[in-house]
Amino acid sequence: MILYGFKVGIDEEDVIKKVIVEITDDGKVLREVTVDIDKEYKISPYKDIKMKYRDKIGVVRSFKKNEDKGELKAHIQFLDNNKFGWVDVQDLEEIK
């Protein structure tokens, strides 16, 4: 079973500045990504069925947390058209 783990770094004003995401399957680490504000990432969902924004590249501008659903989203500004969108933090991949 695939599990997502998050470690969140916040500043003195309780604003999320950094997120470390770990995707595991039966204890084996599949992907670990450190997501920082103002850095570029590729949207690369681990689940094949998620197609929205797949393979687009953008800059993380902020984060939001939905405690009720246990979700953590990143606000992305896409490089190809400068538009914004919200994506799941676990769908981001570092550009190498």
Question: How far is the C-alpha of 54 from the C-alpha of 36, rounded, in Å?
Answer: 19
Record the pTM. Answer: 0.86
Q: Quote the pLDDT of residue 6.
A: 86
Give me the domain span that covers residue 26: 2-94
Domain at 74, CATH number: 2.30.30
E strands of the chain, at which residues? 2-10, 16-25, 28-36, 40-43, 57-66, 71-78, 84-88, 92-94
**Mean pLDDT computed over 16-22:** 92
**Mean pLDDT computed over 63-88:** 91
Q: Cβ(2)–Cβ(24) under 8 Å? A: yes
- Give me the number of domains the chain comprises: 1
Q: Quote the pLDDT of residue 46.
A: 82
Q: Cβ(41)–Cβ(18) under 8 Å? A: no
Per residue in 25-72, pLDDT tens?
Answer: 988 998 999 999 999 999 999 888 888 899 999 999 999 988 777 789
